[in-house]
Structure 1
Amino acid sequence: MWIGTCELDVLLGDVHSLKQKRSVVRPLVAEIRRKFDISVAEVDHRDLHRRTVIGVSVVSGDREHVVEVLDAVERLVASHPEVQLLSVRSRYLSSEDL
């Protein structure tokens, strides 16, 4: 079994309030969840209106599949014009590592 996690540090564009932030982040999180059927959530900077960290996790029997899914999530987030992807931190663990 392989487990992959990814933290995407995101700067939001023309956002001036937490309400506007939610109107950008929630649809993005929902799109990732719907498109890839993986666990995803806003995990940090919830009190800042222009920054967020989106965390995702994937479990699979195949390491290559985990890498492909996390790479596709990164490309999806980077393709959204209303956000700027500042950094990505990915980790891959096998069940033997636990």
Structure 2
Amino acid sequence: MVVAVYTIVIIISESHSLKDKRRVLMQLRDKITRKFNVSMAEIDHHNLWQKTTLGIACLANEQRHVNQVLDQVMNAIYRLPFLEVVDCRKEFT
């Protein structure tokens, strides 16, 4: 069994309040978790309205599958025009 976690620091340029940020993150979480069957949560920068750190986790029997799914997740996030990925790290356990 392979568990991989992406830690992603994101700037949300269209956010002008915490309410805007939460709305964007909720939509992003719903879209990503529904499409890719991964877990996602905000893990840092809770009180900043344009910056967030997300944790995205995936579990599978093979590392190849985990890599494929997480790469697809990152491609989907990179394509969103209102988000700027500042930092991204992948860890396996």
TM class by shorter chain equals over 0.9
Give the aligned length: 93
- How large is the RMSD of aligned CA atoms in angstroms? 0.9
Q: Is the 8 A contact 1:8 1:54 kept in 2?
A: yes
Tell me what 2:61 maps to: 61
TM superposition shift of 1:14 = 2.1
Q: What SS does structure 2 have at the residue aligned with 1:15? A: coil
Partner residue in 2 for 1:78? 78
Where structure 2 has 5 or more consecutive residues not aligned to the other structure, the ranges are: none
Q: Measure how far apart 1:70 and its partner are.
A: 1.0
Preserved CA contact (<8 Å) 1:33 1:40: yes
Superposed displacement of residue 88, structure 1: 0.7
Residues 10-89 of structure 1 mapped to structure 2, 5 A cutoff: 10-89=10-89
Rounded to whole Å, the distance in 1 between the matches of 2:77 and 2:8 is 8
The percent identity for this pair of structures is: 31
Q: Which has the larger radius of gyration?
A: 1
**What SS does the aligned partner of 2:43 have?**
strand
Structure 1 consecutive aligned stretches of length 4 or more whose deviation exceeds 2 Å: none
Contact 1:10 1:51 in 2 (8 A): yes
Length-normalised TM-score, structure 1: 0.90
Q: Classify the secondary structure of the residue corresponding to 2:41.
A: strand
